[in-house]
């Protein structure tokens, strides 16, 4: 992840590394799901792993890491409002209390 | 979308001489010129507005006296549903988009929007979805579930007719066009500004257009999904709004108002933008507190996503939810107030010229304030328990939407009409129009504040004589007739301008923004030379004020060129006309009609739409060969 | 705008509006009205100020070539702060009593002694059940003076909204949910209400009445309404009972103590003692009952009660029977 | 129309804007799914039907299609048209495999007694994953079109923005699936 930000695009090898990371993270998710001992922390762990995968694709495959910050802004605002509304709706319907 | 949108054909400027309003039917069907599309939107929106106005007229006639039976309740319910739906989606929004289309590229110094064909596509979808919706009158009755279409009343069980299917499908179709328009205007404003036109130099109308684009993009999808759920419930027996299956019909209300509240700002912010351009021009003073007005607009747009539950205070969501959303709603009053105060401060110390555009702008300040204050009353959830779903709320939002949106649009109409047509309107007729509208509007809507507080619920085809509300309703009905009459001077004025209007010249109002540097109406390419801008209100620098003398040292700069030359020094590349947007819109419309229950029609429509899409994508990128 | 204040003043104290939200007659409605009045006067103040400044500005600064070109003013930080902070303070002044009231009116009543009434909204009438008293009635709710009533609101079909402005604010009646609304009336009388959420064809005609009785009168009403239906008093009423039992009426209506056990329409055991018929639509008298039975769909378009094919004399008998069910 | 004010191509900015809007679209669907989770009044229930090993495989396939997509873009930018053709083809092909998995899964559910109109779970599940599937299908069509173009020799590094934009769309659809996979299948 020490790829320098810049206008040169990363190498194919770098993309393969990212893809492998994604695959490993997915495997971890499924593993966490099946390990009984992790049940109490299942939700936070899965949400974290999901967010990491999400961020990897957005930053590197979609080039947000290297591109104009405006594009990140456009995307993140949509995402931010969407997450906000999901959370508010879940709270109203009593789905966040447990 | 797979090939370049830069569908250009290089031509010399001389080849663009065709006038804005000349050309045959084919040239209008294939046009991608933002100005022509703006005119199409305007005419379409105006016609739908007149139709919805007549529906309102019928509603008021039925309510003129208690316990009347002029209209039967089923037809009445269709009328108020269609009145609301039409005014919001097929009159208000098209008129706003009309102004975006015509004015925004001119204000930022662009030759067209970012995606001219997408722009045409949006228009055709709007037109077809509106016609589709109205065709329901001939196929078993128009929608009658209210423009808000609350479930489960609109479930198949309680609305077995086709009316609500028309509603769902028409709004899905027009929603696609709206989202496309949102993308288009956002990219246009962000990406197509003339050199030097920084964000904090944008005219306020363009600023508000940018915010509205964002609101459209973020608020229409939840509504679209809500409609998809409704469509599936009605057509395929799913259970999204079916309490018996464990669902909560209130979900629809959330999805509807997550969209519905930003929609209010979609309708009002452009009017604020118009006023923020009109008041400085006719006060001969720059806008007071430009950055504050911009940021208060941003704040209103942002808060718009966090207040939707204030439409649902009586649903019984509990004290915490109501308190949070009540508080958030009250916050909206602050940036709105800031705008009003800044507009007044703009006029303070100015040279106020009471042209019709200015009158409507001042009218907006006065009338919208009333709507805003009654809004604060039902921002308080307990007070709202008495006000929601009564005529008090009807009065409130008509003060907001007529006092805000309609007055703002009329101000914009009188302001930019000379730019759009090259002709001046008659001032006397314009003033008559203003005063009639102002009086009629108050006569219609002020009394129903009282009838609401005194116990008249909304969406009722009649009211008991014993309620004692006769006088309020009668006055309101008289006002409504006057309101219709108020359109006479407007129509007369259009006729007058067409026959005898004086030529306008590039800048009849001595306005400061760059749309006034080009001829009226502008040439096909808008600007023979792309202007360069080095400040806000560039045409007021240096301070040459005919009739008013010099106000200060002449400063160089402002905008170059100050007046656009007749001929372009270099060949101008403009987008080619295209019929593919029309084909694609027709395809989607056919598929929509098929959604009423004909699978073959759906497939035909989708095939046609795909044909349109591929034709569009693979049109020769260079038109010259 | 003088009209505004005059009319509000008249409206606030006039008694000719039976469904007025400005004439509260319970603790609950009183709270809402008190809060509304507080906000209203703030709004009036702001209104006068803003419109006054606006009008003054417009007249003071109309075009006058003698003044020359206006100086270029771009803003003023202190003024901006001022007209941000002052409205914010006013809003705080409104928000504090608002939040207090919310936590009072949006929560179930704390009164353990409250009289529970189950309210069911139906297209297009209201059903009231008193679980403690074993009474079911329709469209008219009797409650005793001085005792809190605790309404449990449910819907049998679509969303309605229960609204009796002088006693309480609206509360929606939503399928799949049970909402609550409570109030303690502070005077005896007949209070008008009606459905306030659009619920279909006859939404406008879905009225109700709340009758606040003195405690003794309420007890008498309870005693009467617990009993079975009165026997027909004369031959015409007896004939009417026969018509009722022999026709579609029985499949929808219940008359306790007879064979009529229908559950779809209002309970008619004591229909003769009600003030109105058709959900607050018509005064309850012989003439109106005949009209109602004869041309139901004209009197209340869309109503789910069909027009049963009866002769004129049968209708006459039926109406006499129903009116006798006191 | 010449350079833009921000230096970002109009179509690229447009695609990102559209993606921002799509966040709200899927956000609403996800919110509905989560709100209605556990409110079924009749079976079958999710636990009885969801096949996690199977869906893990299709998830992996979709993730790899994203890799193919970036490789295709890199190839186009290098003017390596042979590579571009292969990677574009693979992207669409893996997308189709994913879709095939979805069709298989839907079919399986219907056979197990869960047609669309069965209960709240079927309503929310089919509409949510179906909307995503429709996006994949649209993307696959787009890949196919670009592949055809590449095969006809009409695609070169001058069109790299076109491929990039298609890629943005494709990755977004992938990202949505990352979220759905966790929320629907693992957090059940």
Identify the structural domains of chain C with CATH numbers, from first to last: 1-214 (2.60.40.420), 235-324 (2.60.40.420)
Interface TM-score (ipTM) > 0.90: yes
Nearest to B589 by CA among B176, B59, B138: B176
Instruction: Look up the domain containing A93 and give its range.
Output: 68-98
In this structure, what DSSP letter does residue C112 have?
A: T
D131 burial level (CB within 10 Å; 0-12, 13-18, 19+) = middle
Q: What is the pLDDT of residue B550?
A: 39
Q: Please check the confidence at residue C314 and state whether its pLDDT lies above 70.
A: yes
Report the alpha-carbon distance of residue B191 to residue B202 in Å, rounded.
13
Residues 6+ apart with CB under 8 A from A44: none
The predicted structure's pLDDT at residue D188? 72
Q: Give dist(CA C223, CA C228) in Å, integer.
A: 10
Chains B and C touch (3+ CB pairs under 8 A): yes
- Are D186 and A78 an interchain contact pair (Cβ–Cβ within 8 Å)? no
Q: Strands C276-277 and C149-155, how do they pair?
A: unpaired
Q: Is the pLDDT of residue D3 over 90?
A: no
Tokens of C271: 């229909």
pLDDT > 70 fraction of chain A, expressed in percent and rounded: 89
For B254, the closest chain A residue by CA position comes to A89
- B255 at D interface, C-beta within 8 A: yes
Q: How far is A85 from chain D (nearest CA, A)?
A: 8
How far, in Å, CA of B208 to CA of B176, rounded?
Answer: 21
The neighbours of chain B, by the rule of 3 or more Cβ pairs under 8 Å, are: A, C, D
Q: Which residue shows structure tokens 């001489």?
A: B17
For tokens 């694709």, name the residue: A57
User: B21 and D179 in contact (C-beta within 8 Å)?
Assistant: no
Contact D122 B238 (CB under 8 A): yes
Tokens of B564: 């656009």
- Token pair recorded at residue B317: 């969501």
Nearest CA to C148 out of C116, C100, C179 is that of: C116
Same domain flag for A59 and A72: no
Closest CA to C209 of C147, C281, C118: C281
Q: Are C17 and C11 in contact (CB under 8 A)?
A: yes
Q: Which residue in B has a C-alpha nearest to residue C108's C-alpha?
A: B318
B-chain residue closest to D29, CA distance: B225
Host H or E run for residue C126: strand C125-130
Residue-level pLDDT at C1: 45
Give the CA distances from residue D102 to residues B9, D60, D97, D98, D134, in Å, rounded to whole numbers and listed in that order. 45, 13, 9, 6, 11
Contact status of C43 with chain B (Cβ, < 8 Å): yes
Do residues A61 and A74 both lie within one domain?
A: no
Q: How does pLDDT run across A5-46, given as a tens digit for each residue?
A: 444 567 889 999 999 999 999 999 999 999 988 888 999 999
Q: Is B533 helix (H, G, I), strand (E, B) or coil?
A: strand
Contact A78 B317 (CB under 8 A): no
Contact between A93 and B248 using a beta-carbon 8 Å cutoff = yes
pLDDT for position A4: 39
Segment among B225-229, B262-266, C1-5, C255-259 with least mean pLDDT: C1-5
Chain A interface mutation, best of D9, D22, D63, highest count of A Cβ atoms under 10 Å? D63
| D120 → closest Cβ in B112, B224, B245 | B245
* B222: contact with D, CB 8 A cutoff: yes
Could you tell me which residues are beta bridge partners of residue B572?
A: B11
Q: Tell me the DSSP string of B436-473.
A: HHHHHHHHHHSHHHHHHHTT-BSS-S---GGG--HHHH
Say yes or no: D106 contacts chain B, CB-CB below 8 A.
Answer: no
Backbone angles phi, psi at C205, to 5 degrees: -110, 30
Residue A3: per-residue pLDDT: 39
Beta-carbon contacts below 8 Å between B and D: 132
Q: Which of B190, B217, B321 sits opposite A92 (nearest CB)?
A: B321
Overall domain count for chain A: 2
The burial class, CB within 10 Å (0-12 / 13-18 / 19+), for D50 is: middle
Please name the member of B190, B258, B321 whose beta carbon is closest to the beta carbon of A85.
B258
CB atoms within 10 A of CB C71: 10
pLDDT in tens, D86-140: 999 999 999 999 999 999 999 999 999 999 999 999 999 999 999 999 999 999 9
Asked if the peptide bond before residue B525 counts as cis, ω within 30 degrees of 0, the response is: no
pLDDT of residue D154: 87
pLDDT at C261 over 80: yes
C73 near B CB under 8 A: yes
Select from B286, B315, B382 the Cβ nearest to the Cβ of C72.
Answer: B286
Please give the DSSP secondary-structure letter assigned to residue C71: P
Q: For residues B493 and B425, is the Cβ–Cβ distance under 8 A?
A: yes
Chains A and C touch (3+ CB pairs under 8 A): no
SS3 at position C172: strand
Cα angle at C270 between C267 and C274, to 5 degrees? 100
Q: Are residues A54 and A80 in the same domain?
A: no
- How many angstroms separate the CA atoms of B360 and B343, rounded? 13
Indicate the domain borders of chain B.
11-578
Handedness of CA B259, B264, B269, B274 (dihedral sign): positive
State which H helix or E strand residue B270 sits in. helix B250-283
Q: Where are the beta strands (DSSP E) in chain A?
A: none
What is d(CA C272, CA C224) in angstroms, rounded to the nearest whole number? 12
pLDDT the model gives residue B429: 98
> Which pLDDT tens digit goes with each residue over B569-619?
888 888 889 999 999 999 999 999 999 999 999 999 999 999 999 999 888
Q: Which CATH superfamily is domain B11-578 in?
A: Cytochrome c oxidase-like, subunit I domain (1.20.210.10)
The Cα–Cα gap between B382 and C169 comes to 8
Residues of chain B with pLDDT under 70: 1-18, 542-556, 620-625
DSSP state of C265: S
Q: What is the DSSP letter of B92?
A: I
A71 touches chain D (CB under 8 A): yes
Helix (H) or strand (E) holding B330: helix B319-347
Does any CB of chain B come closer than 8 Å to the CB of residue C87?
Answer: yes
Q: Assess whether pLDDT exceeds 70 at residue C201.
A: yes
CB contact under 8 A, D142 and B2: yes
Q: Give strand pairing partners of C135.
A: C130
Q: What pLDDT does B542 receive?
A: 65
Interface test with D, best of B197, B227, B238 (most D CBs within 10 A): B238
The C-alpha torsion from B490 through B494 and B500 to B503, rounded to 10°, is 110
**B222–chain D nearest CA distance, Å:** 6
Instruction: Express each pLDDT in C265-312 by its tens digit.
Output: 999 999 999 999 999 999 999 999 999 999 999 999 999 999 999 999
Nearest CB to D14; choose among B6, B187, B255: B187
Q: Are C195 and C153 in contact (CB under 8 A)?
A: no
**Residue D142: CA count within 13 A, CB half-sphere:** 22
Cα distance between residue B492 and residue B488, in whole Å? 6
List phi, psi (to 5°) of C64.
-150, 100
The Cα–Cα gap between D143 and D155 comes to: 13
Q: Per-residue confidence at A2, pLDDT binned at 50, 70, 90?
A: very low
Q: What count of other Cβ atoms lies within 10 Å of the Cβ of residue D157?
A: 15
Q: Does C151 touch chain B (CB under 8 A)?
A: no
Q: Which residues of A touch D56 (CB under 8 A)?
A: 26, 30
Nearest CA in chain B to A79: B218
Whether B107 and B206 have beta carbons less than 8 Å apart is answered as yes
Give the CA distances from residue B410 to residues B50, B271, B487, C122, in Å, rounded to whole numbers and listed in that order.
Answer: 14, 9, 11, 45
For residue B7, what is the nearest residue in chain D, using CA coordinates?
D1
Pairwise CB contact (< 8 Å): D123 & B232:
yes
- What CATH architecture applies to the domain D10-186? Up-down Bundle (1.20)
Chains D and A touch (3+ CB pairs under 8 A): yes
Q: Does D149 touch chain B (CB under 8 A)?
A: yes
d(CA B39, CA B216): 21
Beta strand C140-144 with C207-213 is: parallel
Q: Using one digit for the tens of pLDDT, what is the confidence trace for D13-60? A: 999 999 999 999 999 999 999 999 999 999 899 988 999 999 999 999
| Distance of alpha carbon C8 from alpha carbon B383, whole angstroms | 16
Burial C191-206 (b: 16+ CB within 10 A, else e): bbbbbbbbbbbbbbbb
Alpha carbon distances (Å) from B155 to B238, B247, B571, D49, D107: 11, 13, 58, 29, 28
Selected residue of A71, A92, A96 to mutate for chain B interface (largest B Cβ count, 10 A): A92
**Cβ within 8 Å of residue A45, ≥6 positions away:** A32, A38
Tell me, what's the pLDDT at B549?
41
Q: Per residue in C12-54, pLDDT tens?
A: 445 589 999 999 999 999 999 999 999 999 999 999 999 999 9
DSSP class of B194: P
Task: Report DSSP state, residue C26.
Answer: B
Q: Do A55 and A74 share a structural domain?
A: no
Bridge partners (DSSP) listed for residue C212: C143, C189
Nearest-neighbour CA in chain B from A87: distance (Å) = 12
Q: What digits encode the pLDDT tens for the residues D138-184?
A: 999 999 999 999 999 888 888 899 999 999 999 999 999 999 999 99
Residue in D25, D29, D40 closest to B246 by CB: D40
Contact A82 D24 (CB under 8 A): yes
Query: Is the peptide bond prior to B542 cis by the omega test (within 30 degrees of 0)?
Result: yes
Same domain as A75, residue A42: no
Q: What is the mean pLDDT of chain A?
A: 88
Instruction: Count Cα neighbours of D99 within 13 Å in the Cβ-side half-sphere.
Output: 18
User: Touching check for A38 and chain D: CB below 8 Å?
Assistant: no
With an 8 Å Cβ cutoff, is D24 touching chain B?
yes
CA distance C116 to C128: 10
| pLDDT tens, residue by residue, B59-96 | 999 999 999 999 999 999 999 999 999 999 999 999 99
SS3 content of chain B, % helix, strand, coil (to 5): 65, 5, 30
Kindly determine whether residue B450 and residue C7, on different chains, have CB atoms separated by under 8 Å: yes
Q: Give the pLDDT confidence of C137-183 residue by residue, as tens digits.
A: 999 999 999 999 999 999 999 999 999 999 999 999 999 999 999 99
Min CA distance, B264 vs chain A (Å)?
18
Q: What is the mean pLDDT of chain C?
A: 93
Helix B93-108 / helix B204-236 crossing angle, nearest 10 deg: 140
How many pairs of residues across A and D have Cβ atoms under 8 Å apart? Answer: 127
Residues with Cβ within 8 Å of residue C86, at least 6 apart in sequence: none
- CB contact under 8 Å between D5 and B197, yes or no, is yes
10 Å CB burial of residue B606 (0-12, 13-18, 19+) is middle
């Amino acid at each position: 992840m020490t790829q320098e930000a810049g206008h040169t695009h990363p190498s194919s090898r770098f993309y393969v590394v990212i893809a492998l990371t994604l695959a490993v993270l997915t495997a971890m998710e499924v593993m966490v799901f099946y390990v009984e001992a992790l049940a109490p922390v299942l939700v936070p762990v899965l949400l974290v792993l999901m967010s990491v995968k999400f961020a990897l694709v957005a930053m590197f495959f979609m080039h947000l890491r290297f591109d104009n910050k405006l594009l990140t802004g456009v995307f993140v605002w949509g995402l931010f409002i969407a997450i906000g509304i999901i959370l508010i709706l879940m709270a109203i319907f009593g789905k966040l209390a447990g | 979308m797979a090939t370049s949108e830069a569908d250009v054909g290089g031509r010399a400027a001389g080849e663009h001489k065709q006038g804005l309003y000349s050309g045959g039917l084919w040239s209008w069907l294939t046009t991608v010129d933002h100005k022509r599309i703006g005119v199409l939107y305007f005419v379409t929106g105006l016609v739908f507005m007149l139709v919805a106005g007549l529906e309102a007229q019928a509603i008021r006639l039925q309510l003129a006296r208690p316990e009347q039976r002029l209209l039967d309740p089923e037809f009445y319910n269709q009328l108020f549903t269609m009145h609301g739906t039409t005014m919001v989606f097929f009159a208000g929004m098209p008129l706003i988009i009309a102004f975006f289309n015509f004015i925004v590229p001119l204000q930022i110094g662009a030759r067209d929007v970012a995606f001219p064909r997408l722009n045409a596509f949006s228009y055709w979808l709007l037109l077809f979805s509106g016609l589709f919706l109205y065709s329901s009158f001939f196929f078993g009755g128009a929608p009658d579930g209210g423009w808000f279409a609350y479930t489960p009343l609109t479930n198949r069980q309680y609305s077995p007719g086709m009316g609500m299917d028309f509603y769902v499908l028409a709004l899905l179709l027009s929603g696609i066009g709206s989202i496309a328009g949102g993308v288009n205007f956002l990219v246009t404003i962000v990406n197509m500004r003339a050199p030097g036109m920084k964000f904090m130099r944008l005219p306020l109308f363009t600023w508000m257009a940018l915010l509205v684009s964002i609101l459209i993009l973020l608020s229409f999808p939840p509504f679209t999904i809500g409609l998809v759920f409704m469509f599936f419930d009605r057509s395929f027996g799913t259970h999204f709004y079916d309490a018996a299956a464990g669902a909560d019909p209130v979900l629809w209300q959330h999805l509807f108002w997550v969209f519905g509240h930003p929609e209010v700002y979609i309708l009002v912010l452009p009017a604020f933008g118009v006023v923020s351009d009109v008041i400085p021009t006719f006060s001969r003073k720059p806008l007071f507190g430009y950055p504050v007005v911009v940021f208060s607009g941003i704040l209103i747009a942002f808060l718009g996503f966090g207040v939707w539950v204030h439409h649902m205070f009586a649903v019984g969501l509990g004290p915490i939810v109501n308190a949070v959303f009540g508080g958030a709603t009250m916050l909206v009053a602050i940036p709105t107030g800031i705008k009003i105060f800044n507009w007044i401060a703009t006029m303070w110390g100015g040279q106020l010229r009471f042209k019709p555009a200015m009158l409507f702008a001042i009218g907006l300040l006065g009338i919208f304030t009333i709507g805003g204050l009654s809004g604060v009353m039902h921002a308080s959830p307990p007070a709202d328990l008495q006000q929601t779903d009564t005529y008090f709320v009807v009065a409130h939002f008509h003060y907001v939407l007529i006092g805000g949106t309609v007055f703002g649009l009329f101000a914009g109409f009188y302001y930019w009409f000379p730019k759009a047509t090259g002709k001046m309107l008659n001032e006397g007729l314009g003033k008559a129009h203003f005063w009639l509208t102002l009086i009629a509007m108050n006569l219609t809507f002020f009394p129903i504040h009282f009838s609401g507080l005194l116990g008249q619920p909304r969406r009722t085809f009649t009211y008991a004589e014993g309620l004692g509300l006769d006088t309020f309703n009668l006055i309101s009905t008289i006002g409504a007739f006057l309101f219709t009459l108020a359109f006479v001077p407007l129509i007369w004025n259009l006729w007058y301008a067409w026959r005898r209007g004086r030529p306008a010249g590039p800048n009849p109002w001595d306005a400061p923004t760059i749309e006034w540097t080009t001829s009226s109406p502008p040439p096909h390419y808008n600007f023979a030379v792309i202007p360069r801008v080095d400040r806000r209100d560039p045409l007021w620098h240096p301070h040459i004020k005919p009739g008013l003398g010099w106000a200060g040292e002449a400063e160089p700069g402002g905008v170059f060129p100050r007046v656009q030359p007749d001929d372009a020094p270099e060949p101008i590349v403009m987008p080619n006309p295209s019929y593919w947007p029309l084909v694609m819109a027709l395809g989607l419309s056919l598929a929509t009609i098929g959604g009423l229950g004909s699978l073959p029609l759906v497939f035909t429509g989708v095939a046609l739409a795909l044909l349109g899409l591929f034709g569009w994508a693979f049109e020769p990128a260079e038109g010259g060969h | 705008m003088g009209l505004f204040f005059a009319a509000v003043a008249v409206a606030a104290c006039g008694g000719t509006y039976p469904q007025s939200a400005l004439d509260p007659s319970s603790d609950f409605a009183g709270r809402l009205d008190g809060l509304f009045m507080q906000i209203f006067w703030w709004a009036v103040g702001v209104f006068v100020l803003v419109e006054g400044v606006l009008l003054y500005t417009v007249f003071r600064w109309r075009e006058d070539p003698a003044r020359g070109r206006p100086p270029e003013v771009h803003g003023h930080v202190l003024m901006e702060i001022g007209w941000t902070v002052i409205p914010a303070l006013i809003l705080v002044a409104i928000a504090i009593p608002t939040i207090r009231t919310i936590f009072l009116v949006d929560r179930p009543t704390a009164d353990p002694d409250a009289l529970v009434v189950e309210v069911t909204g139906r297209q297009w009438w209201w059903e009231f059940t008193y679980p403690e008293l074993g009474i079911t009635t329709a469209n008219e709710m009797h409650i005793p003076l001085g005792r809190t009533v605790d309404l449990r609101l449910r819907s049998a079909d679509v969303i309605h909204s229960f609204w009796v402005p002088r006693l309480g604010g609206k509360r929606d009646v939503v399928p799949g949910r049970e909402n609550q609304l409570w109030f303690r009336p502070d005077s005896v009388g007949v209070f008008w209400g009606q459905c306030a959420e659009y619920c279909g064809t006859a939404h406008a005609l879905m009225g109700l009445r709340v009758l606040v009785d003195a405690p003794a009168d309420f007890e008498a009403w309870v005693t009467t309404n617990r009993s079975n239906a009165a026997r027909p008093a004369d031959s015409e009423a007896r004939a009417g009972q026969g018509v009722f039992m022999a026709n579609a009426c029985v499949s929808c209506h219940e008359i306790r103590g007879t064979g009529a056990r229908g559950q779809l329409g209002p309970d008619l055991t004591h229909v003769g003692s009600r003030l109105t018929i058709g959900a607050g639509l018509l005064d309850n008298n012989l003439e109106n009952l005949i009209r109602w039975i004869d041309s139901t769909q004209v009197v209340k378009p869309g109503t789910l009660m069909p027009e049963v094919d009866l002769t004129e004399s049968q209708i006459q008998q039926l109406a006499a029977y129903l009116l006798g069910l006191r | 129309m010449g350079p833009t004010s921000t230096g970002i191509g109009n179509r690229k900015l447009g695609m990102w804007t559209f993606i921002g809007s799509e966040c709200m679209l899927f956000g609403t669907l996800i919110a509905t799914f989560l709100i209605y989770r556990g409110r079924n009044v009749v079976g079958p229930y999710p636990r009885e039907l969801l096949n996690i090993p199977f869906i893990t495989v299709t998830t992996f396939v979709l993730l790899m299609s994203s890799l193919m997509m970036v490789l295709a873009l890199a190839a186009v930018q290098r003017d390596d048209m042979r590579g571009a053709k292969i990677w574009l083809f693979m992207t669409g092909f893996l997308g189709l495999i994913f879709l095939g998995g979805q069709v298989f899964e839907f079919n399986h559910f219907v056979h197990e007694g869960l047609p669309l109109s069965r209960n709240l779970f079927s309503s929310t599940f089919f509409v949510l994953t179906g909307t995503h599937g429709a996006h994949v299908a649209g993307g696959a069509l787009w890949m196919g079109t670009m592949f055809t173009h590449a095969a006809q020799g009409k695609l070169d590094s001058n069109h790299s923005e076109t491929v990039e934009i298609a890629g943005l769309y494709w990755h977004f659809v992938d990202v949505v699936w990352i979220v759905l996979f966790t929320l629907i299948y693992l957090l059940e």
